[in-house]
Amino acid sequence: MKIGIAADHGGFELKEIIHPFLISLGYDVKDFGAFTMDKGDDYPDFVVPLSRAIASNEIERGIAICGSGVGASVAANKIIGIRAALINDHFSAHQGVEDDNLNILCLGGRVTGFMTAQELVQSFLNARFTGEERHLRRLEKVHQLEIK
């Protein structure tokens, strides 16, 4: 599975831990930046290219990190076909994929501990969309909102 990762200054430190962790698990990882710590950078500059890469099927899933995870989630969800959520618990990390076909996990670099982040990432990446009729029906309603 090809994974994308992106972070601004608020998530930079956590990204620098998660990126090699993903590689150690055998994932092919594309880093969308930031590549240096710059307190003046802006999360949309990194999260939007990640989101577009997922929407175009260049990569399968993504991890977006900003200080709280909120801004990354807001920016990611502006791209059609993206289903991003700020995740802080194990259940939501896998359930979001299983029921809602979540394709971007958003984390807060200033509020999520390193070990917790690794556990959330693994839960997110190991989960699979069930494709149940009720979930497909709901996602179609969301898709209709995007195209109107």
pLDDT, tens digit, 9 for 90 and up, residues 46-99: 999 999 999 999 999 999 999 999 999 999 999 999 999 999 999 999 999 999
Query: In sequence order, what are the beta bridge partners of 84?
Result: 104
DSSP 8-state secondary structure symbol assigned to residue 79 = S
Which of these, 20, 44, 23, lies nearest to 32 by C-alpha position?
Answer: 44
Please give the residue range of the domain that contains residue 137.
Answer: 2-147
Q: What CATH number does residue 47 fall under?
A: 3.40.1400.10
Active site residues: 66
Cβ count within 10 A of residue 2 = 15
Tens digit of pLDDT for each residue in 5-55? 999 999 999 999 999 999 999 999 999 999 999 999 999 999 999 999 999
First to last CA, the chain: 31
Q: pLDDT confidence of 148, banded at 50, 70, 90? A: confident
- Total tally of structural domains belonging to the chain: 1
Q: In this predicted structure, what is the pLDDT of residue 16? A: 98
Single-letter amino acid, residue 81: G
* Distance, CA of 137 to CA of 60 (rounded, Å): 22
